[in-house]
Structure 1
Amino acid sequence: MQSYLVGDTPLVPVGRHCILELYDCPTYLLDNPVFIKQALEEAAKVAKSTLLSEVTHHFEPYGVTGLALLAESHISIHTWPEYGYIAVDIFTCGEYAEPEKACKYLVLAFQASSHTLLTLPRGKLSPEIQKRLEDSLVIQ
């Protein structure tokens, strides 16, 4: 079932896309693929999403990328232990998922000293909302 009808498209988003950046996180958490896998699983649960699969890859000499495939879309985590930095991307569609709750969980789980969160509506928006969104972002 589609989120909206083709040809008679209401001006509504079909999902939310959270872009989360975590700063000053403990290095030992950022270089631990087991911990990151567990964090992905819990983030999916907190977001009220259905986890289909997850994968992690540990880079040499350090750093981890983890991806959770969700029925509602995905969660990705990319770590730079040498900087204490994590880039997180959470995209969910449907009306029941709560990606912002997953973001709050990840801030706490990775013990971030600070973070930034940008949440974008995805899908067909009214021209007025689309213009305001574009004006609020720095597009290069």
Structure 2
Amino acid sequence: MNNPSNAPNNQPLVPVGSHCILELYECPNHLLNDFEFISQALVAAVKEAKSTLLKEVTHQFEPYGITALALLAESHISVHTWPEIGYVAIDMFTCGEHAQPEKACNYLTKAFQANKHVLLTLPRGRISPEIQQRLEESLVVTQV
């Protein structure tokens, strides 16, 4: 197993970005099936994150539910809605020092009027030895 504090060639690992996983619960159902609202919220979240929007793709499912993706110069934001249960799953990865993904997550929590939410933020490119150990214990790792 590699030493988690060192990258290949003994270069120290540094964070390359931040990965936010946001779970929104008890959101108003009508918002979660509103194509225009979700598109506008996604674009506003990109601005909140101080990120650069390259492209937006949004798809509405039948009978309900929307998936929206913002491709960023800094990486991406994805939004998946389940109006029938008032739930939204959001994934946001940003790299670089100027991006502020937590601000975007706070904005989206308010915009979707979530009564409950869970936000998990992980530094990417750098994992503490404690987290590395827990990951190794919980995952089956196949080395090639």
Equivalent residues in 2 for 1:65-84, closer than 5 Å:
65-84=67-86
Matched AA of 2:64: Y
- Structure 1 residue 49 and structure 2 residue 51: aligned? yes
TM-score, with structure 2 as normaliser: 0.85
Which SS does the other structure have where 1:60 is aligned?
coil
The aligned runs of 1:1-140 (5 Å cut-off) are 7=9, 9-125=11-127, 129-132=128-131, 134-135=133-134, 139=138
The Cα of 1:133 is off from its aligned counterpart by 5.1
* Closer/same/farther in 2, CA of residues 138 and 96 from structure 1, 3 Å limit: farther
CA distance in 1, matches of 2:12, 2:74: 21
- Rounded to whole Å, the distance in 1 between the matches of 2:8 and 2:53 is 28
Structure 1 consecutive aligned stretches of length 4 or more whose deviation exceeds 4 Å = none
Q: 2-side partners of 1:84 and 1:139: how far apart?
A: 30
Q: Which amino acid aligns with 2:71?
A: L
Amino acid at match of 2:122: L
Deviation at 1:9, TM superposition (A): 2.4
How far has the Cα of 1:134 moved from its partner?
4.9
- Give a deviation string over 1:82-119, Cα, whole Å, max 9, x none: 00000000000001100000000000000000000000
- The TM-score, its normalising length taken from structure 1, stands at 0.87
Q: 1:132: how far off? A: 2.6
Structure 1, gaps ≥5 residues long:
none
AA in 1 matched with 2:23: E
Q: May I ask how many residue pairs the two structures share in their alignment?
A: 133
Root-mean-square deviation over aligned CA pairs:
2.1
Secondary structure of the 2:13 match is coil
Shift of 1:12: 1.0
